A and B are shown apart, each in its own frame.
Chain A
């Protein structure tokens, strides 16, 4: 009965404490902006989306299965919304019931559960009916499978059977209980037997006569006896009360799960429409297990696009080599582009649409980032240590085929040392089968690498304006800090800014 629309072997369950381990890349890539955009101001939706974002898929089939579900949901938005709303309604069944918050005794647990279950019966029938209308022309395999399971599990015969049990168990008169003898010769392993209609008639109750021999009557004033009798009754229904109370839990959990999984896809659907309304190209990415690198056209940086309208789409193809080097002037949009690349890969691997006109990439088993930390650090040496420490941790965390996004690594040491270090690291990553995209000010890095690399530059317009466009190109030995100085100060710096030292 579980929907299993996100994972074939896992349910969408946000962590109870709301804490998800997102890793450094989450912050570096500005993923929170995307989470905000998808979840909107729906507070219930946020942990759901976050949970999916927190665990990207590692297989192309799983990603394609999600893409198919999203297509199906888009085509059956009405049914999906109706099912989600029905689930939402069912989730509140316990709150609606006056006796839904049961006490501690089996009898109160039993009758409380019965009252909630009677309410849930309606939701189950409606859910089944909605499932039937969607199932008729569902396109995604996962959707088909789930809807058919629902129709089968919640058929009328079964639901009628459940109804009958609920009516029978709600009878509060005589309760037949089967017992065995325990270690004290007490009645033990008490279990409920099926009642045979009503053994007592109103007139026998009126006359105070109890049928049958071997009957023990508790006098009205005997409080201890009444308590013992109540306990006997409670012990008799202990198992059944537990079964029903658990059924309530399971059903509420089921409706809640169904609500979450549908809500996620509906949120993705709505978010994609919103992005398109903002003029962004949104595509269903193509992921292959065998391919190397990323090929994208018209890739928009969401962290800019979601905040303003000045986002510039770019093209890149890193599939020719294990390493891609991006150079260019300061504030030329290198970091923004690197983020867009990481965001695209991340979105693609959760089965979401990507803000590009075309996206083809391999499935990585992890997206790792190493971004320059805040630059106001005065302790140069300590900073360098910290950087090495982070690389060290990153190396520990790598799997077999990771995407490593490096932004201005080793800016804390001199260029020659930094170039050698970076080349050693990146070569090692490349040889181990990882894919590196590095934004760097180290103009000699490409030459220092022994592994092959593609080289990209951020375009510098005439007069120093920054259209933030990327094109293939080798590093130039200046970062155009003068340009920025000029923009800020309105004149060229009196003392030319020292250019980075090449190897």
Chain B
């Protein structure tokens, strides 16, 4: 049985990967994606896009800086409404084709199955043709979509594709033109391949339309579309087919020949494009809600990293975040600053700030846009996190051990290409112990060349010499009870804030003394 296969001589393009670049390992493990709220975000984005899963794409990040740029070009193209429309239509056509294919698999060989196969083929043919024409007209400039267009040009002109398209077109036209009469009597139905011109129902409807004065409801019985033909319908179809023998023979032959009309390159394109469209749609929806996004400029290692107005993408996602509390932060890091220490009062937005660091680097590595107004970010090999989890272990000792195990593996795999984010490291132990353990961990990570972002209540860690940048959670200077949720570069504040807060509640030593004086 001849099955349709695309000629192997074609150059096979991919919209995700540059040709000749070997694939790379994942940019972050599942635990880190979880810590950074990327799992929640990806699930929400996938759900909104109607896609099963997007997390798997994060295990195939861009293998090189060049490949990340290759992807950014596609996102830039998707910024144009014309390109988006073309891609959306192509995805819908592929989905229609897939649905028809699924239905066909539910029935035995019959004229019903043959029709599903025809529907699948027709949807596919229309979809790829529209995709090619749409790409030409859309002004897309990315290399990925360009090579896809070039591939489509050759594919659509290929003899096997043309033969399939022509046969499908003729069949659709002929089947669509059929009108026949069923004479339904008591206990019988006669199938007549002819049909009268007059639409009696319309005449009746028009006659009674004169009474159309008040309002009325719809009395039509809504027949739920059956999943398949019933016995009577099958027999009617057979009777009809016996009166259109050639047409239905051609339909059956078409169905045998084109069991799966989809070209493997197109199938891969469909799957990859889900990733682009889901992220691009999320970005657009987010921008509509007033959150700016941008494609980062990917910098070399010795250049300063700089991001303006960065936001936590989970917080700004309408299904995940508390939209009214979104605070944007400017972030920067000079090439020599390998340790970033973030201190400040509770609830000041430190954890969110640390998450943003991770999100920015991972998105950049994926070739994705980031929620910021301007971004210059490096291409990181690996992003690792260690976040404090209250529920991880039963005992304090067990917890400390778990922490150390995780930290150890992070240290082991870190190198000059890693970003390590540590949030309240060793919080389960005493301050002195935590300080000592933290110092040691940081030494090891820095020795391996990693960049470390460290959120800690141990403000002394920020006083390490050399490669350290200190950031603090800012509070309102007038009303110390108000959080600004803004993190800025500043020397560590120690206890200053705590004291201000206490004063505002009348709990300083002086006021307590007078309040307690009876």
- Give residues in A with beta carbon < 8 Å to B: 1-2, 11, 104-106, 109, 153, 158, 161-162, 165, 169, 173-181, 183-187, 190-194, 199-200, 210-212, 214-218, 220, 224-226, 228-229, 231-236, 238-247, 249-254, 256-257
Q: Which residues of A contact B192 (CB under 8 A)?
A: 212, 214
Docked complex Cα distance between A224 and B221 (Å)? 20
- Are B188 and A232 in touch, CB under 8 angstroms? no
Residue with the greatest number of chain B CB neighbours at <10 A, chosen from A173, A175, A214: A214
B21 at the interface (CB under 8 A from A): no
Contacting pair A169 B204 (CB below 8 A): yes
A215 touching B237 in the complex, CB below 8 Å, given contacts A104-B221, A177-B181, A179-B180: no
B214 partner residues in chain A, CB cutoff 8 A: 11, 249-250, 252-254, 256-257
Q: Judge whether B201 and A240 touch: CB under 8 Å.
A: yes
Please, how many angstroms separate the alpha-carbon atoms of A295 and B209 in the complex? 50
Which residues of chain B come closer than 8 Å to A251, judged between CB atoms? 211, 213
Interface residues as binary, B182-193 with A (CB distance below 8 Å gives 1, 0 otherwise)? 111111111111
Q: Which residue of A lies closest to B222 (CB)?
A: A238
B233 cross-chain contacts in A, Cβ below 8 A: 186-187, 228
Bound-state CA distance A177–B239 (Å) is 16
Q: 18 A-B pairs, CB-CB below 8 angstroms?
A: A11-B214, A106-B221, A165-B204, A178-B181, A178-B199, A180-B179, A185-B175, A187-B180, A192-B200, A216-B190, A218-B189, A218-B232, A229-B184, A232-B182, A242-B218, A250-B211, A253-B215, A253-B216
Contact of A254 among B189, B198, B211 (CB under 8 A): B211
Q: Which of B115, B180, B201 contacts A239 (CB 8 A)?
A: B201
For B239, list chain A residues within 8 Å (CB).
214, 216
Q: Which 5 A-B pairs have the closest CB atoms?
A: A253-B214, A228-B232, A249-B216, A247-B208, A245-B219
Minimum CB distance partner of A220 in chain B: B187
Q: Is the CB of A176 within 8 A of B181?
A: yes
Alpha-carbon gap, A45 to B178, bound state (A) = 57
A453 to chain B, nearest CB (A): 49
A183-B119, A238-B220 known; A178 vs B179 contact (CB < 8 Å): yes
> Is the beta-carbon distance between A180 and B178 smaller than 8 angstroms?
yes
Task: Please state if B231 and A228 are interface contacts (CB–CB under 8 Å).
Answer: yes
Say yes or no: is B10 at the interface (Cβ < 8 Å to chain A). no
Judge whether B166 is part of the interface by a CB distance below 8 angstroms.
no
* Chain A contacts for B111, CB-based, 8 A: 185
Partner of B236, one of A187, A224, A244: A187
Q: Which residues of B contact A177 (CB under 8 A)?
A: 181-184
Task: Report how many residues on chain B are interfacial, defined by Cβ distance under 8 Å.
Answer: 63
Q: Apart from A212-B192, A218-B188, what 20 extra A-B contacts exist at CB < 8 Å?
A: A105-B221, A109-B221, A165-B207, A177-B184, A178-B179, A179-B179, A181-B115, A183-B119, A194-B196, A199-B183, A211-B190, A212-B190, A214-B190, A214-B193, A215-B191, A225-B232, A238-B221, A245-B219, A247-B211, A252-B214
Q: Does B518 touch A at the CB level, under 8 Å? A: no
Q: Decide if B243 touches A214 in the complex (CB within 8 Å).
A: yes
Residues of B within 8 A of A200 (CB): 185
A192-B200, A194-B196 known; A179+B182 contact, CB < 8 A: yes
* CB < 8 Å neighbour of A178 from B190, B195, B207: B195
With CB as the reference atom, state the residue of chain B lying closest to A106.
B221
Contact indicator B204/A240 (Cβ below 8 Å) = yes
Q: What is the bound-complex CA distance between A158 and B208, given in angstroms?
A: 10
**B254 part of interface (Cβ distance < 8 Å):** no
Assess A214 versus B242: contact at CB under 8 Å? Given A184-B228, A240-B205: yes
Q: Is the CB of A183 within 8 A of B115?
A: yes
CB <8 Å contact, A216 and B236: yes
